[in-house]
Structure formats: structure tokens, C-alpha cells
Structure 1
Amino acid sequence: MGLSTQEIMQLSLDLVDWGAVPADSQIYVPGERIESALVGIDLESPEVQLAEREGYDLALAHHPVGEGARLEFTDVLDRQIEFMTVHGVPESEAEAAIADLREDVELGAHSSNYRHDPSVAELLEQPYMNIHLAPDEIGRRRFVEIAEDMDDGSSVGEFVDALAGIPELGEAATDVEVRVGEEGNDLGEVAVHHAAGTNGGADVARAYFENEIDTVLYIHVGAGDARELRGEFEDKNLVVTGHIASDAIGLNVLIDALEERGVDCTPISGCGIGRP
């Protein structure tokens, strides 16, 4: 009875038809016969201790915390180049657009205490893992479907309303926001930039805007990046869906799949938004 941590990781891959575990997802402490899981967007040392104390068979986090998932996180940033080139950004421009981001991520990971949370789980012998990219890919595909279903001549505001129809976004405390542009603007061609590790900041959005993309979708953006873009582009649009609500889209699909296979899931830390 129950699933192993390896089977749970494989389940996440099956949901998106992938054959290999992404660099940002990792099993820190393996487990067998898992029938209950504490599932959250951020599960760190306190939540690992909570899972052990309350008798959960697994602590399942979304965001990466351990050495492999953190130190190799830059590998998933290559998807940002892939997404940009699909929308007509020359590869050399796409690579330049993420150069600073790649360095920031690499140096940040190098300085982090990547052993902290996994070592607590190891001491407690508490099975612990994170699954990041696959659930985000589920959310990305949902956003792409909505963008592709928009009629020619649609406004940015109509796109915002359609996105808000996703239960996780519609029921969140945060709203879908237009951080650059206006809701009355023409939507035009949309680039969904999600499920590539993190957002691309001003540099990636600029690369899209300078290559005839009218609207970019991020799930979060920094205030400085938004101000920088507003100062440069009067007729372009950056739509931001909300970090935690957007992460919940794919995680809820994963939770449903786990429960269908007999794993009783308790969602915390942002999971469960929009679930019945």
C-alpha cells in the first residue's frame, strides 16, 4: 500500500509527459509506503518538524530547498531562452536577457545554506522532497490555453477577466494585475513566461517587447522591474497573475492525482487555494 517518494516524483512527470526529473526538484529523504502527505508551497525546517510530529509519511514542498535543487537551479533557466525564441526573440538576445539572472541565481545558491532543511529531515528520518517545475508547467499550459482562446481584438482587461476565471486565481487574496500598460489596451500577441525557474524581470520582458510581443504574462515581478518597464514602453502590457495562487494551480492537480492513488494530502502554505 502507498507510494514511494520515487513513484510520487514519477507521477509528477507523468502529469506533463516528461521523461527526466528537472534540476529544481529533488528527493531529500526517501520514503516508502506513503499514505499521507503534508503538502505546501514552502515547507522548510518548522514544517518538516510539524510533519514528523503529526505523523505524516511525507513532507512535500513545491519550492526547492536542498543542495541539488538549489545548486543546479540555473539549469532550468534555459527554458526562458526556449520560450523567448519560440516567440521570435533571436537566441543571442534571449541569452543576453537572462545573463544577469543566471549569475544572480548561481551566486545566490552558492551562498545559501542548502543543507539546513534537508539535514533536519534526515535527523528526524522524515521523508521529504520538493517538486517544482512540473506543477508550474501545468499552470503554464493553462495560461497558454486561455491566451490562445482570446478573440482577435481582445483587450488586456478581457484577458485579465479570463485568467480570473481559474479558481485558484479567482479565489486568491491577490488579484490578477496589469503592472505595465492598461486594461483598455489591445491584448495583441501574448507570451506566457512561466515554468522556467522564476520570472525574467525587466530584461526578459524587454526582449519580448522589442520583438513585437504585445503582452507578457509573469506570475510575479519586482517593483523595480515594473517601474523600469513602465518608463520605457507606453503601448506594451505586463500581466501578473500572482505567485502563490499561480503555483497552486499545478499543485492542486498533483494533490488530486496523489489522492486518486490513495495518498491523503493535507494542503498548507498556499496549497489548496481554489480546491473544492
Structure 2
Amino acid sequence: MGLSTDEIMQLSLDLVGWDEVPADSTVYVSGEDVETALVGIDLESPEIQLAHDRGYDLALAHHPTGTSARLEFPEVLDKQVEFMTAHGVPEKVAEEAVADLRSRMDHGGHSMNYRHDPSVAELLDQPYLNTHLAPDEYGRRVFREVADDMAAGATAGDFVDALGAIPELRDAETDVRLRLGECDNDLGEVAVHHAAGTNGGASVARTYFEHGVDTVLYIHVGAGDTAELREAFADAGKNLVVTGHIASDAIGMNALVDALEERGVACDTVSGCGIGREN
């Protein structure tokens, strides 16, 4: 007897001990007795069709594609504030740092075709869900453990090297980059800013740096944000470490695949999932 889509969603939450489904995760088309799954970072209409044609019981995506998971996505940005305040940033200042991001995400959700991919799954009667924040939180805790294990006096370069030993980052075609700072800079206090919906851009990193954080970890960042931070913090001894988007997302999704296979669900991985995973 396989698992239901609701049970699979709960299994993703169990990775990090959560009870409530985050706003960026949803079951688009429910299913019962799932014994096979096509799992990927991005599964959209072509992959939903692929899952249907190949007879998979479930198309399981990481990134949200529509309906409530996109329209309610700004709710998960509360994590941005939570992470900043944990490093001593006043709540009002943290809210100001994320205000533009909230607005952009709200406008983006309002303009996108949030029915596109879910409606294809509905037409095909193909069970389809995405789970985003919980697997990312699993990955964040992996990064946090690496940061906490760094020896006193460690440098930014030491941190980059230690992160690069994580199987998903080690085997990725991307590499861990120091987008701001020098390898011999002191690592200092590290803020792991992952599992907050998306990266916080220049405004969030700047806020961390202005409140005593020495190193910020993002999994991706825009070139404009990097340029802004380099101009603002040249020779300031601050570091922005960027681990790579898809490889970093694969950490939590690989853990979910492991959990599914332990429960008897046979999984095939595509679209970035499976990087660094021992089969």
C-alpha cells in the first residue's frame, strides 16, 4: 500500500519537525496509493506530461508553480525577518530591509498565470504537489551545522572549502563562490540566510553587515546585488558566500527522496534533484 499525497507532504514536514504546511507548498492534484514518483526541483507542464505518460503515481516538485503556493508566497518572507532578528537586527529595521522584496513578490504573484501548471495536472488527473520551505529548512540546518563546526579563527576561505565538501555542492557543476570579501577574511559571525522563500538581495545582506554579522550565506544572488554590496563594503572585511541554487535545493529534496524510498516509494530524479545522492 502506497502513500497518499497528504502523507507525502507530511513526510517532507517531518524532515524538520514541522506540523503546518507552509504557504509556498501545496497539493495541486491529490492522489492515493503512491508507489512511484518523478521528483525534481522544477516540474512544470512538460514534466507533468512526462510523469503521466510514463505512468508515475506522482509528480513531486520543489519549486511552487501556481495556485496558493504562489499567491500566498509572500507569507513565507516572514522567515527573512525571523532570521535577521536572531542576529540582533531590530524587528523594524528587518521589516524595512525586506519590504521591497515583499512588494515584488506580491506583484509577481498577482501577474503570473498561477493556474497554468496545476490545470494541466488536473486535466491529466496526474497527482502533483510541491514542497518548498521544509526541504530548504533541512538544507539550512546542514549549512548551519557546517558554520557552527568552524574552528575559532577560521577564514571565509575555510568556510567555502567546508561547504564544498557537502555531497550536493561537491558534485554540482556550479561551485561555492565568495561574491564579496577575500578568502583570508575572518569568518566571524555567520548568518545562514536560506529557507526564507528566496534570497534577501543587497538590502538584507547590508542589514546583516550593518548589525555586526561578518558573513552572510545565500544560495543565489543577483549580479546587481553583488555590485551594490561590493561598492558599499569594499575593504570592510565582510563576506557574502553563495552556495549555488539548484545544488543547495537538492540537499533537502534528496533527503525527502531517501525518506520516500524508505517508505517503499520508488523515485526517479530529474531537474536537479539527485545531485550528490548515492543511489
Match of 1:272 in 2: 274
Match of 1:146 in 2: 146
How many Å separate the matches in 2 of 1:266 and 1:97? 40
User: Which residue identity is paired with 1:260?
Assistant: E
Q: Does 1:34 align with 2:25?
A: no
Q: Does 1:58 align with 2:58?
A: yes
Match of 2:265 in 1: 263
Instruction: Report the CA distance between 1:211 and its aligned residue.
Output: 0.3
Q: Does 1:250 align with 2:252?
A: yes
Match of 1:181 in 2: 181
User: Which residue identity is paired with 1:23?
Assistant: A
Instruction: Report the CA distance between 1:66 and its aligned residue.
Output: 1.5
How many Å separate the matches in 2 of 1:43 and 1:76? 21
- State the Cα deviation string for residues 147-206 of structure 1 (Å, max 9, x = none): 011111100000001001100001100000000111111101000000000000000000
Q: Does 1:16 align with 2:16?
A: yes
Q: Does 1:236 align with 2:243?
A: no
User: Which residue identity is paired with 2:251?
Assistant: I
Number of positions where the alignment pairs a residue of Structure 1 with one of Structure 2: 276
Structure 1 unpaired stretches of 5+: none
User: Which residue identity is paired with 1:64?
Assistant: P
Task: Indicate the SS of the match to 1:98.
Answer: helix
How many Å separate the matches in 2 of 1:16 and 1:146? 17
Task: Indicate the SS of the match to 2:15.
Answer: helix
- State the Cα deviation string for residues 126-160 of structure 1 (Å, max 9, x = none): 00000000000000000000101111110000000
How many Å separate the matches in 2 of 1:58 and 1:236? 44
Match of 2:68 in 1: 68
- State the Cα deviation string for residues 9-32 of structure 1 (Å, max 9, x = none): 011111111110000000000000
- State the Cα deviation string for residues 45-84 of structure 1 (Å, max 9, x = none): 0000000000000000000012100000000000000000
After superposition, residues 119-134 of structure 1 pair within 5 angstroms as 119-134=119-134
User: Which residue identity is paired with 1:143?
Assistant: F
Match of 1:215 in 2: 215
How many Å separate the matches in 1 of 2:276 and 2:156? 23
How many Å separate the matches in 2 of 1:92 and 1:181? 28
Task: Indicate the SS of the match to 2:228.
Answer: helix
User: Which residue identity is paired with 2:270?
Assistant: I
How many Å separate the matches in 1 of 2:244 and 2:4? 32
State the TM-score, normalizing by the size of structure 2. 0.98
Task: Indicate the SS of the match to 1:27.
Answer: strand
Match of 1:162 in 2: 162
How many Å separate the matches in 1 of 2:93 and 2:28? 36
Instruction: Report the CA distance between 1:210 and its aligned residue.
Output: 0.1
Instruction: Report the CA distance between 1:95 and its aligned residue.
Output: 0.1
* Off by >2 Å, runs of 4+ in structure 1: none
CA RMSD of aligned residues (A): 0.5
User: Which residue identity is paired with 1:202?
Assistant: A
Task: Indicate the SS of the match to 2:121.
Answer: helix
How many Å separate the matches in 2 of 1:272 and 1:14? 20
Match of 2:94 in 1: 94
How many Å separate the matches in 2 of 1:37 and 1:65? 18
- State the Cα deviation string for residues 214-264 of structure 1 (Å, max 9, x = none): 000000000000000000112210000000000000000000000000000
User: Which residue identity is paired with 2:275?
Assistant: I
User: Which residue identity is paired with 1:227?
Assistant: A
User: Which residue identity is paired with 1:162?
Assistant: A
